[in-house]
Amino acid sequence: MQIDPRAVPFANEELSLELLNLVKHGSSLQAVKRGANEALKQVNRGKAELVVIAADADPIEIVLHLPLACEDKGVPYVFVASKNALGRACNVSVPTIVASIGKHDALGNVVAEMIGRIEALM
């Protein structure tokens, strides 16, 4: 699997596992939106706290508009290696190229900690 050099910031394996666990927990709380269009809507409406993007989306150009939108709106984003793993974390049986974690009281502290770790990657 080839990771595109434009997939920055890229989470290492340890951070990826923690992010996927956060997505899984958020999905069980119905705080996660899947797909590029839904994530973009959440970012534009100011409802997204964190956007997780699969670096192996093919072609990568289908998700490269999201980092620009996230930067405009001040929403942190990060790339993870596998769209298959991201899909499993979202509790679906198909690959997912983007997951957007929305605001939820039960996720507040964990999301804030992840955002700090992601900002350290940049």
Token pair 């999301």: residue: 111
Q: pTM score, two decimals?
A: 0.93
Q: Across the chain, where does the E strand assignment appear? A: 32-34, 48-54, 77-80, 98-102
Alpha-carbon distance 75 to 72, whole Å?
A: 8
Amino acid at 106: A
Tokens of 101: 């974690």
Q: What pLDDT was estimated at residue 58?
A: 86
Q: What pLDDT was estimated at residue 108?
A: 82
Segments of the chain with pLDDT less than 70: 1
Q: What domains can be seen in the chain, in order of their start residue?
A: 13-121 (3.30.1330.30)
Phi-psi region of 34 (alpha: psi -120 to 50; beta: other; left: phi over 0): beta
Q: What pLDDT was estimated at residue 1?
A: 62
